[in-house]
Amino acid sequence: MPEKIIHFPAERLTLEGLLHRADGERGVVITHPHPLYGGDMYNPVVETLSRAYQEAGYSTLRFNFRGVGGSGGGYGGGQDERADVAAALDYLRDQGKTVLDLAGYSFGAWVSAQVEWDGGLQRMILVSPPVGFAEFRDFPNLPELKGVLTGSSDPIAPAKLLEKQVPQWNPSARLVVIDGADHFFSGTLGDLYTGLVGLL
């Protein structure tokens, strides 16, 4: 079933998303990179995440953070965007998806890792969390964290720094380093897809 544009509430705003509906109870919310640098739900890495999950049989919801595309409001510094993620998870749960993942890329990974949601996540996957720029060291444990993917040539999510930090977030989480990939996975989206499939 193809994705369709949907709208859902987040606090006093309305956000737009792309929903792919699959049979069963499994679903995932996918978050995009930085709104102030052109990030939106059509980002190629976000699309790759969606495709990997769809082919694994999940319903997928990728959406635009507040102030992006057809979503209301304005940029919230990463703090307000946490409510956007929680609202997207609530939407999928209200659609009958009770086994939910959360997957984020770059800024979206940073926001997703900080979300507090009362519904209980099955697992979390982070792609290129920007540990080279954002402060991740003070994060609590992330018991839902299943895997982290980054590129070997990514200065924003350096593999060497993630080798130290991922075990602090969750000792059982896997770190997958895509050889030769930069932060945008230029020319390596196929390798990213393969890495994602290995985690699902």
> pLDDT by residue (tens digit) across 168-193?
999 999 999 999 999 999 999 999 99
Sheet containing 26-31: which strands, arranged edge to edge?
Answer: 4-10, 13-20, 59-63, 26-31, 99-105, 123-127, 145-151, 174-178
Amino acid identity of residue 58, one-letter, is Y
Assign domain 4-197 to its CATH architecture: 3-Layer(aba) Sandwich (3.40)
Distance CA 25, CA 58 (A): 8
Distance CA 112, CA 105 (A): 9
> pLDDT by residue (tens digit) across 1-27?
799 999 999 999 999 999 999 999 999
- Residue 11 and residue 87 in contact, taking contact as beta carbons nearer than 8 Å: yes
Distance CA 115, CA 98 (A): 18
Residue with tokens 């609530």: 90
Letter string b/e over residues 14-44, b meaning 16 or more CB atoms within 10 A of that residue's CB? ebbbbbbbbeeebbbbbbbbbbeeebbbebe
Identify which of 85, 43, 45 has the alpha carbon closest to the alpha carbon of residue 65.
85
State residue 38 phi and psi, 5-degree precision. 90, 5
> pLDDT by residue (tens digit) across 101-145?
999 999 999 999 999 898 899 999 999 999 998 666 566 789 999
pLDDT at 4: 97
- Residue 99 and residue 130 in contact, taking contact as beta carbons nearer than 8 Å: no
Residue boundaries of the structural domains of the chain: 4-197
- Provide the token pair at 18: 């792309």
Mean pLDDT of 91-103: 97
Mean pLDDT of 50-57: 98
